[in-house]
Structure 1
Amino acid sequence: MLKEVYPNIPDVAVRWDLANMEEAYVIPDNSVMFAAFESSGQVVGTVAIRPYDDRIEMVRGCYDVPATAELSRCYVNSSLRRQGIAGKLVAAIEEYCQQYGYQAICLHTHRFLPGGFPFWLSQGYIIRKEKPGDLETVYMDKRLTQQCSPIF
Structure 2
Amino acid sequence: METKPVIRSAMPQEIPAIVDFVLAARNTMFSRVPASLHIPKVQAELAKFQEDYLEDREGGFLIAKSNGQIIATVGYVAYDNRFPQLDFGSERVVEVVKLYVDPKWRRAGLATKIFAALQREARQAGIRRLYLHTHPFLPGSVRFWERQGFQLECVDKDPIWQTTHMSKVLRRDTD
Q: Do both share a fold (TM > 0.5)?
A: yes
Q: Aligned to 1:56, which of 83, 87, 96?
A: 83
Q: RMSD across aligned C-alpha pairs, in angstroms?
A: 1.6
| Equivalent residue pairs, number | 145
Match of 1:97 in 2: 122
Match of 2:66 in 1: 38
Q: How far, CA to CA, are the matches of 2:90 and 2:156 in structure 1?
A: 21
- Answering whether residue 166 of structure 2 is matched by residue 140 of structure 1, we say yes
- Answering whether residue 29 of structure 2 is matched by residue 5 of structure 1, we say yes
> Partner of 2:138: helix, strand, or coil?
coil
User: Aligned letter for 1:5?
Assistant: M
Q: Report if aligned partners of 1:54, 1:65 keep a CA contact under 8 Å in 2.
A: no
Give, in angstroms, the shift of residue 93 of structure 1: 1.0
User: Aligned letter for 1:4?
Assistant: T
Structure 2 unmatched runs, 5+: 1-24
Q: How far, CA to CA, are the matches of 1:124 and 1:56 in structure 2?
A: 21
> Partner of 2:63: helix, strand, or coil?
strand
Q: Percent identity at matched positions?
A: 28
Give, in angstroms, the shift of residue 65 of structure 1: 4.7
> Partner of 1:72: helix, strand, or coil?
strand
Give, in angstroms, the shift of residue 114 of structure 1: 1.6
Structure 1 unmatched runs, 5+: none
Q: Report if aligned partners of 2:91, 2:129 keep a CA contact under 8 Å in 1.
A: no
Give, in angstroms, the shift of residue 66 of structure 1: 4.9
Q: Report if aligned partners of 2:59, 2:75 keep a CA contact under 8 Å in 1.
A: yes
Change (3 A) 1:69 1:54: same
Q: Report if aligned partners of 1:52, 1:66 keep a CA contact under 8 Å in 2.
A: no
Normalized against structure 2, the TM-score is what? 0.77
